[in-house]
A and B are shown apart, each in its own frame.
Chain A
Amino acid sequence: MSQTPKMLKDLGALAGAIMASGVSVVAPSAGPGPSRFRRLASAEELAMPRVNTQLPPKEHLFPPTEPLLRFRYRGTDVELTDPPLPAEKLVLLGVRPCDAAGIALLDAVFLADPTDPFYAARRANATIVAVGCARADDDCFCTAVGLSPHSSYGSDLLLLPAEGGYLAEAVTDKGRQLVAAHASLFTDAASARAAAPPKLQRASLDGVDEQLQAAFADARWAAIAARCLGCACCASVCPTCHCFDIADEASARSGVRLRSWDACGLEMFTKHTSGHNPRPNQPARFRQRVMHKLSYSVASLGRPLCVGCGRCISHCPVGMDIHQAAAQFATSG
């Protein structure tokens, strides 16, 4: 792709222009509770975080709970109704590269055969505009899992901080269409260069997938996870965790089948009807999380299912640290 580099001066102006074109903008904005991506009512609400939002944009593509079908008993028959597929066009604006990569990984799960129709509909209607990081914090480790603060993986349009605005890189057709639709906001800037990405402190986890596999039965897991409380906050704040549970909310006559987030850190996740639990304790459950993120997924998806956003580390009430846990096995071989 050899186009003249384009500059975007003002992120807010882009948000405003997109909204004016009748497309929703979902972006970091202030509000009650943790910082997160919200549907903007006006461009002024856009509030880019210093590093990243406390919650990832995942919930806008894969909501915490959603109806899969509705049912109603008609005599001896059951009448099934499909909920309408989401049709709202939206731009996820101000996504950090780690979270954009997170969306690419959700794609790898939900768009693979069999495709998830609800996710696919939301995804088809969404354009991801990522903004490269100018800063990182102590828990960031995207570079340890093969990404970077300026990575374009998962973005449709990547905006990298540069002098006087953002250097725009249209990564996909969706991104190019977005730039074309708002061409007046993007100026030619042949000589513009993106600012250097921030340096991250944490060591690379390259190759740790095999070392983890070898360490499955390692006695150290018990000590590493002794303090883990099994609250599964790590999954709630994770941009790539995608496990779900399905339950009916029903009365005697009708009901709805709901899909809701679930997490491998929870005891109930693997508990059998018999009472047997193949992951009988918290170390086994914590190990599963580390393994799935950093080892199994390398075999199944070709890369770690972790994007190094560091949220699970920052948020954990007892300071569990997936990077530190995995790094122990990386160094000791």
Chain B
Amino acid sequence: MSESWEPRIVAFVCNWCTYVGADLAGTSRRTYAPNVRIIRLPCSGRIDPRFIVRALEQGADGVLVSGCHPGDCHYTKGNYYARRRYLVFNSLLNLLGLEPDRVRFAWVSAAEGNKWAELVNLTVDAVRALGPLKLYAEPSEAAPVLQSSSEQTAGGMPAIDTELAERGVRQAARELLEGGDAELVIGYVQTPNGTVVPGFVSTPAEAERLVWNDRCVHNLTTYLTGERIGANGKVAVVVKGCDARAAVALMQESQLDRQRVKLIGVECHGVRGECGQLADKCGACELHTPHICDVLASADGAVSRPEAPGTEPTSFPASQRVKAELAELMAMSPAQRLAFWRAELSRCVRCYACRAVCPLCYCQICAADRNQPQYLAPGSDWKGALSWEVTRALHLAGRCVGCGECVRACPQGIRLDLIQSFLADVVQRELGSVSGADPQALPPLSTFRPEDPEEFIL
């Protein structure tokens, strides 16, 4: 550290309270550390966590975020939304191993000039003690390897005959096509090579091509949005329990119209993941029967149209292995965690396969593809990878249903499931929300409660 180093702090503040509070500190002749550069925004609700990451990328040693106290928002409730977002973001920074004092959140009103001055002094002192931001410098320690990664497996394949359910799927597809409820059925077919792949049938006779077995791992709800084959017209889609969660998440966000899209639920007792073993996500499955569907193909061959086919999921489908890995990670020092994630995320080549396969990544233009302004660092080095992965993690927080498609698609085998499982746990514990459960519920970061937790906010 050079003798002349001074912490550079970027402060993102609300125009209506903290900015005026900072002004008051000045007019009151309060002296405080000159290390802070203030960026004024209309509301703490406008302070996107990406801004914070961008500030760190561009050379800030610390970031201060401040807005109006709960109940005092100029726009009534912007800070309530912001509070939830920061809760998740703060947890993510903790998981990634960034020193907690680098990024601080505070409520500072227009009258609290003194609080502002103290906050700045506190932050500058804390960051001075930490030294310059080393996030993007060469790593100081070797990446730890998670012991529990190799210890736990999801278990063996259950001996369940899928043939009867397969007939049920065909029957359901045929009936929907014959009755005019669907013009296209998205299901599974087998290629001449014997690979099971997503397939599309549009006539009752073709329904016989559909297959159902333990190799039907794909989440077909991905085809329902954007410019994909199932995005328009009357469509029926085959869903396992895990896929039904994605359908519910889409319904919560008004992306799936039940009048247009029929769900063919199928009773599932596990699909094969890599190496032909039971897929990791199946180990924690509580949805062998989808909790929502229009037609249900049961394992005994019955085809029914139940009002409530199954019970809603009560938690995110994190496997025992993932839970053990997360426990191991959180027992490490922040520096070790950072070293782990640096090795893990640095493999990212920014191919965006995770985005392409995700049923909930349906934005028409992704922030990653924008270059006017450029929201994300563009490279696939550590800086760029972190920029992208943080953005993706936050955008999916509380929405991700744990279908595991991103991990399956990632050519670099990056453990995106660890990040989303961790955030899902935070969201359930702190905000009481379970993704893909109740179609009437709002996504947790699109709503708030006045009594939401805010212990991390100064």
Contacts and interface: CB of A to CB of B under 8 A. Distances in A.
Nearest to B413: A33
A33 B351 contact: no
Interface string A237-273: 1000000000111010000001011010010100000
Contacts of A319: 191, 195-197
A318 B218 contact: yes
What's the dominant secondary structure at chain B's contact region?
A: loop
Contact of A227 (B197, B351, B353): B197
Contact of A236 (B191, B349, B371): B349
Q: Which of A55, A233, A260, A317 has the largest count of B CB atoms less than 10 A from its CB?
A: A317
B78 interface: no
A318 B189 CA distance: 11
Interface string A214-249: 000000000000110111110111000000000111
Given A32-B145, A249-B379, A230 B356 contact: yes
Given A236-B411, A249-B377, A321 B191 contact: yes
A68 to B, nearest CB: 11
Contacts of B352: 231-232, 266
Contact of A55 (B228, B357, B379, B411): B411
A16 to B, nearest CB: 23
The residue among B58, B344, B349, B352 with the most chain A CB atoms within 10 A of its own CB is B349
B158 interface: no
Nearest to A238: B411
B356 to A, nearest CB: 3
Contacts, number: 112
The bracket for how many chain A residues form the interface is 35 or more
Interface residues of B, number: 47
B356 A226 contact: no
Nearest to B227: A281
A247 B350 CA distance: 13
A5 interface: no
B353 A233 contact: yes
A34 B349 CA distance: 13
Interface of B: 58-59, 143, 145, 191-193, 195-200, 218, 222-223, 227-229, 343-344, 347, 349-353, 355-357, 369, 371, 374, 377-381, 383-384, 405, 408-409, 411-414
Given A64-B349, A65-B349, A251-B58, 20 more contacts: A32-B143, A55-B412, A226-B200, A226-B229, A227-B199, A227-B200, A229-B228, A231-B352, A232-B351, A232-B356, A237-B411, A249-B384, A258-B381, A260-B380, A261-B350, A281-B227, A282-B227, A315-B411, A317-B408, A319-B195
28 contacts: A32-B343, A34-B411, A34-B413, A65-B350, A226-B200, A226-B229, A227-B197, A227-B198, A229-B222, A231-B352, A232-B356, A233-B409, A236-B349, A247-B378, A247-B379, A248-B378, A249-B383, A249-B384, A258-B381, A258-B384, A282-B227, A317-B218, A317-B353, A317-B357, A317-B408, A319-B196, A324-B191, A324-B192
